[in-house]
A and B are shown apart, each in its own frame.
Chain A
Amino acid sequence: MTTEQAILNGIAVFLTLCIFSFLYRDNPFYKFAERLVAGVATGYWTMLLYHTNFTDKVLTPIFVRGQLHYIIPALLGVLMWTRFSKKYAWLSRYSIAFYIGISSGVTITVTLYTFLFKQLQATIGMPITADYAGINTFLIVLAVVSALVYFFFSLPHKGAIGTVSRIGIYVIMIGFGAGFGMTVMGRIALLVQRVIFINDYVRGLVAFIGGS
């Protein structure tokens, strides 16, 4: 560990502890760190957008490569700034309209293909055989259909529909339970990483002080 690393990582540890202080209650240290990161994050993103997006996709194409057709989307992008004016805010709708129209047109086909057709194909396209895999295939069909029936509100959930819908909610609960179990792992991982970071720093600092 160098002196610079000791100082910079020391600041990082201090800021980490500032955030952890929120666990006791909201306090000025937490607020300080929270606002600092908001400013730094915005500054980082501003420069990232300027250097790697605005320069590469707007300035260079128009002024260096002479691709003048980029002037049209650039002007539409500038129109977005009229949102700050009450009088001219409606002009920004033209830009939004291009964005929304193009996105919507593209979305329909790929969404139906990915979320519906491929999923349906995977559900009913497998043979139901008299072995372990076949039983699972049958259970998948049953579980998917019953969970779909649970979300289908155009028919009253009574009689046979009610029974299938009841199976559906159990399937969904198993799904949520699995999600919760996995979430615990994820959240703990985030905390553990900070503990390892502080531990590494303290050990490094002790060795650094002892060695100097």
Chain B
Amino acid sequence: MSFLEKMMLIDRRWIYLSIGLAVIIPVVVQFEVPVSVSPEVKKIYDFVENLNAGDYLFIAVDYDPSSMAELNPMAEAVLNQAFAKDLKVIIVTLAQFGPGMVEDLTTRLAAAHHRVRGEDYVFLGYRPYPAITIMLMGINFRVPFPVDHYSVPLDSMPMMRDIRNFADVKAVIDFTAGNTADFWITYGVGRFDFPLAIGITGVMAADYYQYLQSGQIFGIIPGVKGAAEYEQLVGFPGKGKEQMAYQVIAHSVIIAFILISNIAYFATRKQKQQLGGGR
């Protein structure tokens, strides 16, 4: 068996080891990666930046620990910007482990920006069935959430006094790893027509550009690269930017894998054809 044929049949665990080593390299050798900002990310930043202190921003933290690597950095960057601009933030989660994600985000960031729960931000909580929850919030936030996540009635909070539904917030920004983005677009924008932007995982990123072109959403933060771009715009270097060096090495290795396997494939195919064994 030739070397190339052996390369074609390499045990998967060698590939695993290569990827494992690739993501360890930046731990030892640290380097900066330039980040260029894409228009779909800049649009969200500009929108939030142009809001006035006291304006309301609605943030949906629709992800679980399984995708927090990509979505936490972007949610953190947007919340940092919102708190720094003194916006009033309403947060909800439609993911079953989302409350844990929100608790972590708000505890850290509210403390850093000296923001008070119930006065500067409110966490409505979690409800199952995203489509129904979104539609009910479109009528009145109080229908699905008579009290917030901590049992405080919404009417007792000064910041929620004149706030009824999506018509009273400047925009909704949804950070999601699943089809919740579709629910926000279909049952939210489709029925109540409010400005919506989404922060999504890399896996989903290519699937939402049609909504951007049709104007159903006004911006996309795609995956961890989008998060790094947003962090750069906001000026809070976080986990998104930190990930970029790792991404460079890992992508290089995967690209090398694709090249090697294709070279081996074509070389062995040619050999087989010459021997008359191939098609």
Residues of A that sit less than 8 Å from B by CB: 23-24, 41, 44-45, 48-49, 52-53, 56-57, 60-61, 103, 106, 110-111, 113-115, 118-119, 121-122, 140, 175, 178-179, 181-196, 199
- CB of A182 within 8 A of CB of B203, answer yes
A54 to chain B, nearest CB (A): 11
Q: Please name 16 further chain A to chain B contacts, defined as beta carbons within 8 Å, in addition to the given A188-B251, A196-B239, sorted by A numbering.
A: A23-B16, A48-B126, A61-B146, A110-B190, A122-B215, A140-B213, A179-B206, A184-B202, A184-B251, A186-B202, A188-B246, A189-B224, A190-B70, A191-B19, A191-B250, A195-B23
> A193 touches which one: B68, B96, B146, B201 (CB < 8 A)?
B68
A38 to B46, CA, bound (A): 42
Residues of chain A with a CB closer than 8 A to B223's CB: 182, 185-186, 189
Question: In the bound complex, how far is the Cα of B224 from the Cα of A186, in angstroms?
Answer: 7
- Residues from chain B with a CB closer than 8 A to the CB of A188 are 23, 246-247, 250-251, 254
In the bound complex, residues from chain B placing their C-beta under 8 Å from that of A52 are 99, 125-127, 149
- Complex Cα distance, B3 from A119, in Å, reads 51
The distance from the CB of B210 to the nearest CB of chain A, in whole angstroms, is 6
In the complex, are the beta carbons of B135 and A106 less than 8 A apart?
A: yes
A193 to B68, CA, bound (A): 9
Q: Is the CB of B23 within 8 A of A118?
A: no
Q: B191 at interface (Cβ–Cβ under 8 A)?
A: yes
Shortest C-beta distance, B216 to chain A (Å), equals 6
B135/A193 in contact, CB under 8 A:
no
Give the residues from 123 to 162 in chain B that come closer than 8 angstroms, CB to CB, to chain A: 125-128, 131-132, 135, 144-147, 149, 151
CB-defined contacts of B24 to chain A, threshold 8 Å: 195
- Give Cα distance in the complex from A111 to B13, angstroms: 45
A49–B96 CA distance with the chains assembled, in angstroms: 9
- Inter-subunit contact B242/A196 (CB<8 Å): yes
A45 contacts B146, CB within 8 Å? no
**B185: CB under 8 A from chain A?**
yes
Question: In the complex, what distance in Å separates the CA atom of A46 from the CA atom of B270?
Answer: 60
30 A-B pairs (CB sep. < 8 Å): A41-B97, A44-B97, A44-B100, A53-B126, A56-B146, A56-B151, A103-B132, A110-B190, A111-B186, A113-B190, A118-B216, A119-B214, A122-B213, A122-B215, A178-B206, A179-B207, A181-B206, A182-B203, A182-B205, A182-B222, A185-B202, A185-B225, A186-B203, A187-B203, A188-B247, A189-B202, A189-B247, A192-B246, A192-B247, A195-B27
The minimal Cβ–Cβ distance linking A192 to chain B, given in whole angstroms, is 4
On chain B, the residues within 8 Å of A44 by CB distance are 97, 100
**Residue positions of B touching A, CB distance < 8 A:** 13, 16, 19-20, 23-24, 27, 66-70, 96-97, 99-100, 125-128, 131-132, 135, 144-147, 149, 151, 185-187, 189-191, 201-207, 210, 213-216, 222-225, 239, 242-243, 246-247, 250-251, 254
With A178-B206, A184-B202, A188-B251: A114-B242 Cβ-Cβ less than 8 Å: no
- Please report the C-alpha to C-alpha distance between residue A45 and residue B93 in the assembled complex, in whole angstroms: 13
B225 to chain A, nearest CB (A): 6
- Return chain A residues, CB-CB under 8 Å to B96: 45, 48
